[in-house]
Structure formats: structure tokens, C-alpha cells
Amino acid sequence: MKVKNICCIGAGYVGGPTMAIIAQKSPEINVTVVDINEKRIAAWNDPDVEKIPIYEPGLAEVVAEARGRNLFFSTDVDAAIDAADMIFISVNTPTKTYGMGKGMAADLKYIELCARQIARVAKNDKIIVEKSTLPVRTAEALKRILDNTGNGVNFQILSNPEFLAEGTAVTDLHKPDRVLIGGDLDTEAGREAIQALVDVYGHWVSDDNILTTNVWSSELSKLTANAFLAQRVSSINAMSELCEVTEADVQEVAKAIGMDSRIGPKFLKASVGFGGSCFQKDILNLVYIAKSFGLNEVADYWEQVILMNDHQKRRFAAKIVKTLFNTVSGKKIALLGWAFKKDTNDTRESAAIYVADYLLNEQAEIVVYDPKVTKEQILADLDYLGTRSEEENRKLITVVNSAQEACKAAHAVAVMTEWDAFKTLDWEAIYEGMLKPAFLFDGRRLLDKEALTALGFEFYAIGS
């Protein structure tokens, strides 16, 4: 079968960029991205393409090319479901904050709502594609909801996990290491559905890079990939602490081990801790699944990756307090960067949130600058933790429009996100404007220690 109309439910960090590229590369397929969030859809439709709600290098150009041609953004979910022969589900699956599995299991209520809506609206056969990261065997639950509609419509469920990383989404989508498609390989209809999706990606991805598996392998591969990547970061971060108490330097260690082709050089950058919407959520999910099968050793093994990450964030904040003569009460501390990594405006699980929260508990005054994150977002992130009242957060946190302004009269500066622009700031002028001794904490190993020490900074970098 040839797919003519695609609908994607969820216009977020995954759905938006993925559909923009599918539309760009497949001009004969109409792609409609729908969301219940009217503000978000309005932003995707903003005549000024630079105002789309997600900052991703190169994405505005892709949207400019395809939007209005075969790429559409709408809040009319029912109409898009009705018209589509293939529906991607790309809604959020946050960690549950209540009830059974609280703090661990993925909250599938948004997925279930989508399934029920599809079941209600669909009048002809459709292929449903799970794009959101989901616990293993979610497809089964989806199928049961869809198959019980009683209106005779046939649904094929595919799992097609997204491996794009934020900040490099456009290149990752243009040149994926692999596209993974899980489906029902045992039936003719299942194989046809898989082929239909292979053909969509076939517009720009070669057959060799498209992998087909059964649904469960596909679902579990996504959790496994994220767990392995996060594990590398926690492993090098564990070494960073050991480096700090010995004469070793974590960057040198990372280089030395990364040249072993069995280990490889990527994902060995010590940092203040990994963030983002996926790593923590997916590992917690994995831990929850393992526990639910009684596999306690497996669960404990992976949970340690999270515990190490929490420790790294706390340790960085504690280092600031200890270095500033054991108190930051009433002291101004500038945080450079709030996003969980460079080249994105996404702040979910960003280490900066937790470091700021820790320092606020120590009664510090925090000033934040991030080139792409809004003041509203920064305050919302802190409010969400619920550590103190919204009024208190607003009293203790200031958000400014430049790094220079953030650092003025500060006792200490901490680099939280590795934005390239931070490397070339006028550090001499920043030093002049700070209280002395001027402390600089590099949570990303971004800055040149020798040059900054020569300017007069008291310099601390993770892992040395």
C-alpha cells in the first residue's frame, strides 16, 4: 500500500522535527501534525518561521520549505485522524507523578487517550505508529483498545522509536544511523504495514539502514539504547570524581580510553550530569519493568546510572558552596545556561534546575542567562519542583538577557550548558566586574583553564 496522508498526534520535540523532515523528503505525502495545545500549533503556523516553538539548528529552513505545501499544523485532531492512512503517536509519556509506579513507570494516559480518540473517529483501516518512547508491550495495550471499537476497522500497530538527539535533530533525521521498525512479521497484513513505513523512509534512507524487527524488540531497543548512552555518561562522571581527588584529568582519561576502538570516543564527556526528556525517564521505566518481573538485580544495576547522575548534580552544587567559604547565603551566583544541552531550548530534567534548587536552599541569589530559554520557562521549571512557593522563586531568581549582565557583581559564575558562545565571552571584562576572589565553575569542561586562571579567576572544572 502507498501512504498518501500521514497524521502525527503531538507537535513536540519529536513529532515536529520528524514530520517536517518526512514532509520535506516526501512531497507527494500530505503530513498533518496535530496537537491539543493551541498556543503550540499557532507558533508552528507563525508566518515568521523563526518563531516556531522548538529551537533546532536547520529546522526553520525545513519548515519554510514544506509548510503549506504538504506540511500542515492543526488543532483539528479528529479531521486529521479521519483523513490519515498512517497515524504517528508522538505525545509525551512523562514519569508518573502519582499512584502505582509513581516516580518510575511511564504515564501512559496521553497514549491511551489518543488510542481511544483514534478508535472513535476512524472509519477505514489505518496503520498506527508508536513514536513516543514506551514501555515494552505498550503496543499490545494499544491494539486491545483499538480492536475493541466494534466498527470493523483494522489497525496495524508499528513501533518506530525515534533516535534523534535534540540540538542535532535535523542532521540526525537526514542521516540516521538506522531506522528501526517493529511490527507483526508473522502476518501478511503486518508485513504490508511494515513495508508501507519502510517506503516512507525509503524516500531518503537506504534499505541497509532500515531495520525491521518484531514489535517488542523494537520497543525494548529504544530503552536499551538510551540506558547504554546514559550509562556511559554516568561512568565517565563517576571517574570525574575520582580524577578530582587524584592527579588524573578526566578529559585525558576519556581520550585514552576512547581511542580503544571497542570503547569509542563518543559520549565520554564528563559533565554536571545528563538531562533531557529521555535518559532518566527511560531508565526509570526500565527499572520499573525489571522490578515488575521480579528481576531485582537487573533493576538495581540500571538504577545506579540514575543515582550516579543525581550525585553528580548535587556534588557540583555542594562544591560551589564549599568553595565559597561554606556559605552562599545572600551571595550572587550567575548560572550560564539553563537548557539541558546546547542548541536546544528544551529544559526538561536539565542539571541547571537541580543545581539552582540546591543553591536556593542555601539562600543564594541566582541570576540566569540562557540564549534560548525564556524567563517563564525557567520559573516554571523551578515551580514544578515544588521546593518553595512561587513567590519565593520569583524573589530569589533573576533572569537576564546577557552573560555579561548575569556575571556583574557576582561572587561566582557556573557554566551549566555548553553553548559555544560562552567560550568567546569577554572573560576579562567579566572578571573585572565580579567580586573577588572571582570563582568560576565549569560544569561542562567548556573553558580554557589556563587562560582563565591567568586572568585571575579561581577556576574549577569537573574532573580535574
C-beta of 169 vs 238, nearer to ligand ADP: 169
- 35 contributes a contact to ligand ADP by CB under 6 A: yes
Pick the piece of the chain touching ligand ADP (CB under 6 A) from 30-38, 55-63, 332-340, 431-439: 30-38
Burial of 245 (0-12, 13-18, 19+ CB in 10 A): exposed
Site string for ligand UDX, 327-356 (x = CB under 6 A): -------------xx---------------
- 164 contributes a contact to ligand UDX by CB under 6 A: yes
Task: State yes or no: 445 annotated in a binding site.
Answer: no
Task: State yes or no: 348 annotated in a binding site.
Answer: yes
Place of cell 578526566: 250
Around Cβ 297, how many Cβ atoms within 10 Å? 7
Q: Which does 126 bind (CB under 5 to 8 A by kind): ligand ADP, ligand UDX, none?
A: none
C-beta of 72 vs 88, nearer to ligand UDX: 88
Strands 332-336 and 365-369: parallel
Minimum CB–partner distance for residue 212 and ligand ADP (Å) = 23
Could you give the CA distance from residue 89 to residue 103 in angstroms, rounded to a whole number? 23
- Which of 245, 430, 446 shows the shortest CA–CA distance to 342? 446
Q: Which does 40 bind (CB under 5 to 8 A by kind): ligand UDX, ligand ADP, none?
A: ligand ADP
Q: Are 49 and 160 in contact (CB under 8 A)?
A: no
The three cell numbers of residue 339 are 537548557
Contact residue for ligand ADP among 26, 32, 92, 251 (CB under 6 A): 92
Task: State yes or no: 394 annotated in a binding site.
Answer: no
- 463 contributes a contact to ligand UDX by CB under 6 A: no
Chain residue whose CB lies nearest ligand ADP: 12
Task: State yes or no: 75 annotated in a binding site.
Answer: no
- Which of 226, 219, 221 shows the shortest CA–CA distance to 165? 226
Q: Are 6 and 86 in contact (CB under 8 A)?
A: yes
The three cell numbers of residue 351 are 542539571
- 90 contributes a contact to ligand ADP by CB under 6 A: yes
Could you give the CA distance from residue 379 to residue 390 in angstroms, rounded to a whole number? 8
Contact residue for ligand ADP among 7, 11, 230, 334 (CB under 6 A): 11
Applying CB under 6 A, the site for ligand ADP has a residue count of 21
Within 229-288, the residues that bind ligand UDX by CB under 6 A are 229, 233, 267-269, 271, 274-276, 278-279
Contact residue for ligand ADP among 14, 106, 299, 452 (CB under 6 A): 14
- 226 contributes a contact to ligand UDX by CB under 6 A: yes
Q: Which does 11 bind (CB under 5 to 8 A by kind): ligand ADP, ligand UDX, none?
A: ligand ADP
Q: Summarize the annotated binding site for substrate as residue ranges.
A: 162-166, 222-226, 262, 269-275, 340-341, 444
Binding residues for ligand ADP (CB under 6 A): 9-15, 34-37, 40, 77, 90-92, 110, 113-114, 132, 277
Please state the residue numbers annotated as binding site for NAD(+).
Answer: 10-15, 35, 40, 91-95, 132-133, 166, 278-281, 348
